[in-house]
Amino acid sequence: PKTIYLKDYQEPDYWIDNTELSFDLGEEITVVQSKLSLRLNENKTHNNLPPLVLDGTDQVLKQVLVDGKTIEPGQYKLTDETLALPVTQKTFIVEVTTEIKPQENTSLEGLYKSNGMFCTQCEAEGFRKITYYLDRPDVMAKFKTTIIADPKQYPVMLSNGNDIAKGEREDGKQWVTWEDPFKKPSYLFALVAGDLSNITDKYTTCSGREITLKIFTEHKNIDKCDHAMTSLKKSMKWDEDVYGREYDLDIFMIVAVDHFNMGAMENKGLNIFNSSCVLAKPDTATDNAYQRIEAIVGHEYFHNWSGNRVTCRDWFQLSLKEGFTVFRDAEFSADMNSRPVKRIEDANFLRTAQFAEDAGPTAHPIRPDSYIEISNFYTLTVYEKGAEVVRMIHNIVGKEGFRKGSDLYFERHDGQAVTTEEFVKAMEDANQVDLIQFRRWYSQAGTPVITVTDQYDNNNQQYQLTVKQHCPATPGQTDKKPFHIPVAIGLLDPEGHDIALNNAGDTTQVLDVTEQQQTFTFKNIAQQPLPSLLRGFSAPVKVKYPYSRDQLLFLASHDSDGFNRWEAGQQLAVDILEELAEKARKNQSLTLDDRLIQAYRAVLQDEQLDPAVAAKMLALPSEGYLAEQAETIYPLAIHQAREFAKQQLAEALSEDWLAVYQRLQSDKAYQPTAADIAERSLKNTCLSYLSQLGEQQLALLEKQYQTATNMTDKYAALSCLVNAPAEPAKPIAKTALADFYQRWQEDVQVMEQWLAVQANCSLPGAFEHILSLQEHEAFDITNPNKIRSLIGQFAMNNAVHFHQETGVGYKLLADYVIKLNIVNPQIASRLLTPLTRWKRYGEPHQAQMKAELVRIRKQPELSKDVYEIVEKSLK
Ligand code: B3K
Ligand code: ZN
């Protein structure tokens, strides 16, 4: 397989101005006809007219015409991936007829079928599986699409833009034509045809235009669309209020599809969603699902400007649209719900998963330099770290400055395909700031580590912070230049109050760290302070400062920065858990440091605390986060240490858990509001500790399972029952799982949850049970959600069983990678992630994980997707 480099980017030889498509959808064969108006790219110098080289795969070419004249097979050149045509004019029309078989397309890329309905996924390079085309994001055309199908099976036929004509053919088939007035790259094309219901609503934009909103699903799911519709209207309003961005077409449509490789897709005017990211009702969806739906509906909607109106020049620029849009959706969620909690969740996720990616064999900058398969670059780095980079710019130029910058960006580049450079430039130009050094965040991979030391001079009343930065080497990048890191800090006096850092009385200051080592001096500091570092997680870096456990305990109860209060508690827990894990590994006896119990007690007894924040503060760092912190990972020791701490906390604070649990009982009707979600999350956190307490609390779990009137509470109880260590819990859990299945076996989304709760169970015997679930009716290897629920959850979140010492967990995962390599390469390559981290594990894990990677590499016909990841991991 060939590597593509950013440095080789060249504009295309030809542009496409207009694209007319027709799809005759059939059960055996689908016939695709395209008519493209082409024009020589005069920006480039050409000696003579170069051939037109179109991208295309997995289709049968039936006919080619140029300016109405047939091109015979001898005159064109066809390969597995391209069709080259001779060119004689500067502008010309190409007409191509091809045949495809969507019903056999299991890659879920291009045109495929899901539960009998036709749908598409074109980003990044799926359009070339539909027809021959210049399938690259800098080629932007106006699309007109006609869909022809049997109206009995496919009464609903949708594409981008507005429907402008429809009719019936003599053979009884129906046709409809859609026209999209906005130029777009092929990756934003979409088509849907099926027997669907919809809910309809209206939105009046800030300039008074009325937009029709529609959400389409299979008939049985029509009662699950309301939350997505509400979320859509909130998103439209928010983008007007915060960014001044108005919707542009007269109709906006969302379609829910069961078979989908990722969360959703922002096709112009016709977003296609994984049904799990759009469908919800109180008795089948959890609070998590409700919040995820709001975030993803927002994300895809926001792409209409950050991605569609202004798109990417090439796929190396992916973070231009994704980093920016993740930042936008995070701010939207923060505005709709709890801001500190959203920040805690995002930082926690980044530090667990993205930091691991940045420290592994597939580390890459948010703007990568090369790729083999672009699908492999829809990563946490491009998305989540990309969003953090945009957030840093936001913090550097301030809220108003950022708005000036985004206005300038949209105004300058509307209708264009641009690079991350244009984004940074607009921010600079609108604010007269210098982001030269800051640009290194786009080109250098790896997580910088800042090491902070301090010195207090009592005589001069001066305090000094010395900050050193270092970024570990990543593949292909050994010498890193210093980053521009905005480090927000505060200083606490011995009573725990913030010290004013300047005459204006500011108590948080951003230090612009730009050098390898820098010292910052604070004057008029009356007593030795305690620093609160990287407040609000102001940069995606690791911080090292030699806090004692007592100091962390102090910060956890006094820091005025909500994020850092949580963070201090986490650091305290990490420090204690690391020591426990080390002892567990050496088979020494374990005792829990009383300071952790004190910290938890303080949170439990503080009735003023926002319950959402309290729930976060009462959650131990995940095994994944602890693994990320470790020099060498011993997953079983980490698990043992964490379970021990959980048990000790449950016992030591049993009365507090129960008191808070009881205080939060409520018979309010379910509403997914921030306040209610917060209370449920604290209540169910208490329940999970109570579930550690053996027989005495089983009745409580059982009661919540049976009487819950919403899925959040029901699922929390189910999960606690399934994971309760006490022997008498086993039969109750078994009955609950069976009951849950009986009740919701017809509901696809609930069944995903049912598989996941079992895949996550770390109790003895759970692995055999997981193996048996592969044969269960509720599982289906052709459905990515089911793979993620059972196999993905098992490998990512069930360390004891995945990392068991016989290596059978690794083998299970590798077997799926091998099967999916043929069926669905994108999912295969994603699933592989946990194995790629082999170098960080102690033995016997390391050798066994590597052996499975080697076995995968030996498979015949490795897809580009899997090949690239395996190859990089074994280097
Ligand atoms: N842009 C799509 C992701 C497409 C992934 C293709 N392999 C969803 C999103 O980020 O909004
Ligand atoms: Zn996106």
CA 142 vs CA 181, 479, 653: distances in Å: 6, 45, 64
Q: At what angle do helices 635-652 and 674-690 cross, to 10 degrees?
A: 100
Sheet containing 191-194: give its strands across: 110-114, 117-121, 191-194, 156-159
Q: How confident is the prediction for the chain on average, in pLDDT?
A: 98
DSSP-assigned beta bridge partners for residue 163: 178
CA dihedral (805, 807, 808, 812) in degrees, to 10, reads 140
* Number of neighbouring beta carbons within 10 Å of residue 12: 15
pLDDT tens for each residue of 641-661: 999 999 999 999 999 999 999
Asked if the model's pLDDT at residue 448 lies above 90, the reply is yes
Whole-angstrom Cα distance, residue 26 to residue 694?
59
* 318 ligand 1 Cβ < 6 A: no
* Number of neighbouring beta carbons within 10 Å of residue 410: 17
Asked if the model's pLDDT at residue 694 lies above 90, the reply is no
Asked if the model's pLDDT at residue 50 lies above 90, the reply is yes
Query: Can you spell out the DSSP letters for 474-522?
Result: BTTB--PPPP-EEEEEEEE-TTSPBPP-STT--S-EEEEE-SSEEEEEE
Query: Which three-class secondary structure state does DSSP give residue 277?
Result: helix
Helices assigned H by DSSP within 24-124: none
- Report the phi/psi class of residue 872: left, alpha or beta, with left for phi > 0 and alpha for psi in -120 to 50: alpha
For range 272-289, the mean pLDDT: 98
Nearest-atom index, ligand 1, CA of 375: 7
Of all protein residues, whose CA lies closest to atom 3 belonging to ligand 1?
A: 265
Query: In which residue are the tokens 């969302």 written?
Result: 254
Of all protein residues, whose CA lies closest to atom 7 belonging to ligand 1?
A: 375
* 268 ligand 1 Cβ < 6 A: no
Whole-angstrom Cα distance, residue 537 to residue 617?
16
CA 144 vs CA 54, 141, 242: distances in Å: 19, 10, 33
* Number of neighbouring beta carbons within 10 Å of residue 798: 22
Query: Which three-class secondary structure state does DSSP give residue 359?
Result: coil
Whole-angstrom Cα distance, residue 846 to residue 860?
24
Asked if the model's pLDDT at residue 695 lies above 90, the reply is no
Of all protein residues, whose CA lies closest to atom 10 belonging to ligand 1?
A: 322
* 299 ligand 1 Cβ < 6 A: yes
Query: Can you spell out the DSSP letters for 704-770?
Result: HHHH-SSHHHHHHHHHHHHH--STTHHHHHHHHHHHHHHHHTT-HHHHHHHHHHHHT--STTHHHHH
Would you call 720 exposed, middle or buried from its count of C-beta atoms within 10 A (0-12, 13-18, 19+)? buried
CA of 378 to the centre of ligand 1 (A): 7
Query: Which three-class secondary structure state does DSSP give residue 154?
Result: coil
* 300 ligand 1 Cβ < 6 A: yes
**200 close to 214: Cβ distance less than 8 angstroms:** yes
DSSP-assigned beta bridge partners for residue 34: 21, 96
The best mutation among 120, 128, 262, 382 to test binding of ligand 1, ranked by most ligand atoms within 8 Å of the C-beta, falls on 262
**525 close to 461: Cβ distance less than 8 angstroms:** yes
Under 8 Å CB-to-CB from 680, ≥6 apart: which residues?
287, 664, 712, 713, 716
DSSP-assigned beta bridge partners for residue 513: 485
Of all protein residues, whose CA lies closest to atom 9 belonging to ligand 1?
A: 265
For range 248-254, the mean pLDDT: 98
Asked if the model's pLDDT at residue 617 lies above 90, the reply is yes
713 closest CA partner among 761, 758, 680, 688: 680
Under 8 Å CB-to-CB from 642, ≥6 apart: which residues?
577, 620, 621, 623, 626
**342 close to 333: Cβ distance less than 8 angstroms:** yes
Whole-angstrom Cα distance, residue 267 to residue 307?
10
Query: Which three-class secondary structure state does DSSP give residue 467?
Result: strand
For range 332-344, the mean pLDDT: 97
For range 174-189, the mean pLDDT: 98
Under 8 Å CB-to-CB from 149, ≥6 apart: which residues?
23, 24, 25, 118, 157, 173, 174, 175, 193
Strands 542-544, 270-274: parallel, antiparallel or unpaired by DSSP? unpaired
* Number of neighbouring beta carbons within 10 Å of residue 73: 9
CA of 810 to the centre of ligand 2 (A): 31
- Report the phi/psi class of residue 214: left, alpha or beta, with left for phi > 0 and alpha for psi in -120 to 50: beta
* Number of neighbouring beta carbons within 10 Å of residue 565: 22
Asked if the model's pLDDT at residue 618 lies above 90, the reply is yes
Whole-angstrom Cα distance, residue 640 to residue 844?
17
Asked if the model's pLDDT at residue 718 lies above 90, the reply is yes
Asked if the model's pLDDT at residue 820 lies above 90, the reply is yes
361 closest CA partner among 473, 496, 233, 227: 473
DSSP state of 3: P
* 262 ligand 1 Cβ < 6 A: yes
155 closest CA partner among 199, 120, 114, 196: 196
DSSP state of 319: H
Position 436 confidence tier, pLDDT thresholds 50, 70, 90: very high
Q: Which ligand is nearest to the CA of 387?
A: 2
Nearest-atom index, ligand 1, CA of 263: 8
Looking at the chain, the whole-number percentage of residues with pLDDT higher than 90 is: 100
For range 299-325, the mean pLDDT: 99
CA of 664 to the centre of ligand 1 (A): 39
CA 54 vs CA 44, 75, 452: distances in Å: 18, 15, 55
832 closest CA partner among 808, 807, 844, 850: 850
Whole-angstrom Cα distance, residue 363 to residue 4?
17
Helix (H), strand (E) at residue 16: strand 14-24
User: What is the per-residue pLDDT for 2?
Assistant: 97
* 272 ligand 1 Cβ < 6 A: no
Whole-angstrom Cα distance, residue 390 to residue 328?
9
Sheet containing 82-85: give its strands across: 52-55, 82-85, 77-78
Residue 296 tokens, joined: 């993803």
ipTM higher than threshold 0.85: yes
The best mutation among 378, 826, 863, 868 to test binding of ligand 1, ranked by most ligand atoms within 8 Å of the C-beta, falls on 378
**297 close to 239: Cβ distance less than 8 angstroms:** no
201-227: b (≥16 Cβ within 10 Å) or e: bebeeeeeeebebbbbbbeebbebbeb
**706 close to 366: Cβ distance less than 8 angstroms:** no
Query: In which residue are the tokens 């030391």 written?
Result: 453
User: What is the per-residue pLDDT for 340?
Assistant: 94
485 closest CA partner among 517, 438, 434, 531: 438
DSSP-assigned beta bridge partners for residue 193: 118, 157
Q: Is the pTM of this model over 0.80?
A: yes
pLDDT tens for each residue of 771-816: 999 999 999 999 999 999 999 999 999 999 999 999 999 999 999 9
* 123 ligand 1 Cβ < 6 A: yes
Query: Which three-class secondary structure state does DSSP give residue 863?
Result: coil
Whole-angstrom Cα distance, residue 613 to residue 604?
11
Whole-angstrom Cα distance, residue 311 to residue 496?
48
User: What is the per-residue pLDDT for 609?
Assistant: 93
* Number of neighbouring beta carbons within 10 Å of residue 556: 25
User: What is the per-residue pLDDT for 696?
Assistant: 81
Query: Which three-class secondary structure state does DSSP give residue 820?
Result: helix
Residue 265 tokens, joined: 């897709």
Asked if the model's pLDDT at residue 138 lies above 90, the reply is yes
Of all protein residues, whose CA lies closest to atom 2 belonging to ligand 1?
A: 265
Query: Which three-class secondary structure state does DSSP give residue 633?
Result: strand
